[in-house]
Amino acid sequence: MIEIKHVSKAYGTMPVLKDCSTNVAKGEVVVVCGPSGSGKSTLIKCVNGLEPFQAGDIVLDGTSLSAKDTNLPKLRARVGMVFQHFELFPHLRVIDNLCLAQQKVLDRTRADAEARAMKLLDRVGLTAHAQKYPGQLSGGQQQRVAIARALAMNPIVMLFDEPTSALDPEMVNEVLDVMVELAREGMTMMVVTHEMGFARKVADRVIFMDKGEIVEDATKADFFDKPRSERAQLFLSKILHN
Amino acid sequence: MLGGFDFDVIWRSLPYLFFEGMRFTVMLTALATAGGVVLGTLIALMRLSGLPLLPQIAALYANLMRSLPFVLVIFWFYFLIPYIGQWITGASRPIAVGAFASALITFTLFEAAYFSEIMRAGIQSIPRGQVAAGYALGLTYWQVMGYIVLPQAFRNMLPVLLTQTIILFQDTSLVYVISITDFLGAASKVAQRDGRLVEMYLFAALVYFVISFAASQVVKRLQSNTAIVAGH
Amino acid sequence: MNYNWNWGIFWQPSPEGTGTYLDMLLSGLQWTLATAAFAWVLALLLGSIVGVVRTLPSRWGGRLATAYVEFFRNIPLLVQLFLWFFVLPELLPRGAGLWLKQLPNAPFWTASVGLGFYMSARVAEQVRAGIGALPRGQAMAGRALGLTTAQVYVYVLLPMAYRIILPPLTSEFLNTIKNTSVALTIGLLELTGRARSMQEFSFQVFEAFTAATILYLLVNAVVVLGMRFLERRVAVPGYFAGK
């Protein structure tokens, strides 16, 4: 589904991604973790073309990102993304947040888009808030709406960029529950997160990044029980102690 | 279009344009800025003082000046100043004030309203602790203002003050409405006398542009320098 | 003080034969408002385009937009009006130039267009600042959903950017109204010019200019109140403190 082949990226002279390669198969849930500045957020933003990269290629469901004739907006419509700071559109009601891209990108009718939106809001438990504005919701509610907004596009893969890092602790679980459900339903997911409990529950593989490189890329069992690299071992010991 | 563009008329009138016209413009800009900043600072101090009535008068003045078109204010002072002169000196008829003096008074008083807003922001940006420290050392209000607050406020707001000066420089062209000969007035006189409006007005536009643009680039340079200093 | 006060002057007929002096001033007010409205619409249209272009990654677009802003900001408004009124007709081909010079209400059209371009540079700066004030993630979220760049600007960025810059835009609109007075130099019969004419005909200097002052202050108050009403109506619930 996602093939990341030898991707390198730099901001000017400062390298942020160094020769990263990995694959995500259909239905797989891959967790990407690592210390701050390791490049994990940048990598995931490269997957849907939000960030350009200088070397290598990324192939999404057979379509190469760097090919000249690739229609990036159309490609992005098939990839769902959830951001750390939710990024709901504050001037639109919740229902309109969900319908905007459906109508403008997928050319669905308003009625069709609304029906799908309400079903998704029901799935994340927020139908009562359809007419509210994002500013009137809590952080956890906003993030669940953001997940519904991404799902409304019927994506083939969902990308999550530290979805719970900006939430107060008591709201983290309501969002993680939605993500666990999604994984159990078979969605292909790539999740950047510090939440190791989530990884243990539903991840198939774990990728550990440090200083722009993919240091470990193992199955969940292998990663947690026998991490091979010293940096990963250090990271795990610190995280699991907290 | 450019066939017959008369560069000669520009060349011939350069002395008149610059030694008469530009000289007036620059003098007016410099003196009105100096006077406007001083008066504006006083108005700002009035506005921020806790004394009765002074803040209201200062606010009324600043808001009034900033709500009216400059051209209207120019007309007001053009007619008002002779009568005020008569009233002050007790003369029997309105005093005829020279063109430059009239313009200078008008520009100083008008721009002071804008300078007062800038200085007010500058003074308010100085931490209260500075003032408290000054008083704690036994300094009087005027000493605290003069030695501690105003020097810092002035330095902080220098880029904004200079930008307002550039605006003032461009505003001087408005003395045209009372037939005073500044740089634009001089260009206009030559244009009408020799029938060369295109050449003279294009030249005037070019000169204003070059001076204003160069000045604004200097201000930008100044802003980036002070920003670096404030960085640590 | 040898000045004869005569507040009744407003109800006396003006030598122009079109009514009283009050009618003269009010007609001036009409021209002021019409010019300001036309210029403001033009300024918003052009300024929005230029402001948006300045936020795009295109290098040549950015340079052109910057040149546009610098041109209109560094030349005094009066000089710009002279260029539009006196110079432009001469630079155009004969037919077009002649048509311009014979246009009915030429001062109105010249003033509106000239003032519109002048203010558009300031609007462009405001629009640029407004877009720049938005969190970077907003544009990213829009693009992540598959919206094209144009769609991101129209549906995500500009709606919020305009709300942010409503207060400074109000100031610029008030400036537009004040700046119409500069056009009296090219023959626009706006309020300040009419007050000056009234003074020249009747010698009642202070009555004339007081009336003009009061009218400008009234317009000012109406605009400020109107803008405050607009701000409250378009405020996004939960985004700004308050409503």
Under 8 Å CB-to-CB from A162, ≥6 apart: which residues? Answer: A41, A84, A192, A193, A194
Q: How far is C233 from chain A (nearest CA, A)?
A: 12
Q: How far is C228 from chain A (nearest CA, A)?
A: 18
- Decide: helix, strand or coil at residue A138: coil
The answer to whether the CB of A209 falls within 8 A of the CB of A162 is: no
pLDDT for A57: 93
Q: Is the pLDDT at C198 greater than 70, yes or no? A: yes
Domains, chain C: 17-234 (1.10.3720.10)
Per residue in A162-203, pLDDT tens?
A: 999 999 999 999 999 999 999 999 999 999 998 888 888 889
The answer to whether the CB of A179 falls within 8 A of the CB of A189 is: yes
Q: How far is B104 from chain C (nearest CA, A)?
A: 19
Please list every residue in chain A whose beta carbon sits closer than 8 Å to the beta carbon of residue C144.
48, 50, 76, 79-81, 83, 150
Please list every residue in chain C whose beta carbon sits closer than 8 Å to the beta carbon of residue B106.
none
Mean pLDDT of chain B: 89
- What phi and psi values does residue A32 have, to the nearest 5 degrees? -110, 120
Dihedral angle, C-alpha C44, C46, C47, C50, nearest 10 °: 150
Does the CA dihedral C173-C175-C176-C180 come out positive or negative? Answer: positive
Q: Are strands A205-210 and A29-33 parallel, antiparallel or unpaired?
A: parallel
| Residue of chain A whose alpha carbon sits nearest to that of C142 | A101
Please list every residue in chain B whose beta carbon sits closer than 8 Å to the beta carbon of residue C174.
67
pLDDT for B227: 60
Does residue C146 sit at the A interface (CB-CB below 8 Å)? yes
Per residue in B70-90, pLDDT tens?
A: 999 999 999 888 888 888 888
- Tokens read off for C42: 């033009």
Does residue B91 sit at the C interface (CB-CB below 8 Å)? no
- Decide: helix, strand or coil at residue A5: strand
Measured CA to CA in angstroms, residue C207 lies from B178, C10, C115, C177 at distances of: 19, 8, 29, 22
End-to-end CA distance of chain C: 55
Q: Is the pLDDT at C16 greater than 50, yes or no? A: yes
Among partner residues C144, C145, C239, which is closest to A135 by beta-carbon distance? C239
| Residue of chain B whose alpha carbon sits nearest to that of C178 | B69
Interface test with A, best of C145, C152, C154 (most A CBs within 10 A): C145
Q: Round to whole Å and give the CA distance between C177 and C35.
A: 8
Does residue A118 sit at the C interface (CB-CB below 8 Å)? no
Q: Is the pLDDT at B54 greater than 70, yes or no? A: yes
The answer to whether the CB of B10 falls within 8 A of the CB of B79 is: no
Inspect the interface and report whether the beta carbons of A100 and C155 lie closer than 8 Å.
yes
Which chains reach chain C with 3 or more Cβ–Cβ distances below 8 angstroms? A, B
Does residue C137 sit at the A interface (CB-CB below 8 Å)? yes
pLDDT 10s per residue in chain A (242 long)? Answer: 899 999 999 988 899 999 999 999 999 999 999 888 889 999 999 998 898 899 999 999 889 998 888 888 889 999 999 999 999 999 999 999 999 999 999 999 999 999 999 999 999 999 999 999 999 999 999 999 999 999 999 999 999 999 999 999 999 999 999 999 999 999 999 999 988 888 888 899 999 999 999 988 988 888 888 878 888 888 888 777 65
Chains A and B touch (3+ CB pairs under 8 A): no
- Tokens read off for A208: 């550990």
Q: How far is C221 from chain B (nearest CA, A)?
A: 10
How does DSSP assign C86-145, residue by residue?
A: IIHHHHS-HHHHHHHHT-TTHHHHHHHHHHHHHHHHHHHHHHHHHHHTS-HHHHHHHHHT
Please list every residue in chain C whose beta carbon sits closer than 8 Å to the beta carbon of residue B213.
70, 74
Domain map (residue ranges) of chain B: 2-226
- Tokens read off for C23: 């009618």
Q: Is the pLDDT at C114 greater than 80, yes or no? A: yes
Per residue in C37-85, pLDDT tens?
A: 999 999 999 999 999 999 998 888 899 999 999 999 999 999 999 999 9
| Residue of chain C whose alpha carbon sits nearest to that of B70 | C178
Please list every residue in chain C whose beta carbon sits closer than 8 Å to the beta carbon of residue A136.
237-238
Does residue A115 sit at the C interface (CB-CB below 8 Å)? no
Does the domain formed by B2-226 have CATH 3.30.70.1530?
A: no
Q: Is the pLDDT at C243 greater than 60, yes or no? A: no
ipTM: 0.90
Name residue C39's amino acid: A
Among partner residues C138, C147, C238, which is closest to A101 by beta-carbon distance? C147
- Decide: helix, strand or coil at residue C185: helix
- What phi and psi values does residue A55 have, to the nearest 5 degrees? -135, 155
How does DSSP assign chain B, residue by residue?
A: --TT--HHHHHHHHHIIIIIIIHHHHHHHHHHHHHHHHHHHHHHHHHHS-SSSHHHHHHHHHHHHHHS-HHHHHHHHHHHHHHHHHHHHT-SSPPPPPHHHHHHHHHHHHHHHHHHHHHHHHHHTS-HHHHHHHHHTT--HHHIIIIIIHHHHHHHHHHHHHHHHHHHHHHGGGGGGGT--SHHHHHHHHHHHHT-HHHHHHHHHHHHHHHHHHHHHHHHHHHHHHHHHHH-
Does the CA dihedral A51-A55-A60-A64 come out positive or negative? Answer: positive
Q: Is the pLDDT at B162 greater than 90, yes or no? A: yes
Q: Is the pLDDT at B40 greater than 90, yes or no? A: yes
Among partner residues C137, C237, C238, which is closest to A85 by beta-carbon distance? C137
Please list every residue in chain C whose beta carbon sits closer than 8 Å to the beta carbon of residue B204.
79, 82
Q: How far is A47 from chain C (nearest CA, A)?
A: 11
Interface subset of C 84-103, CB within 8 angstroms of B: 86-87, 90-92
Average pLDDT over residues C16-35: 91
Does residue B219 sit at the C interface (CB-CB below 8 Å)? no
Please give the model's pTM, rounded to 2 decimal places.
0.86
Inspect the interface and report whether the beta carbons of C3 and B83 lie closer than 8 Å.
yes
In chain B, what percentage of residues exceed pLDDT 70? 95
| Residue of chain C whose alpha carbon sits nearest to that of B214 | C74
Please list every residue in chain B whose beta carbon sits closer than 8 Å to the beta carbon of residue C196.
75
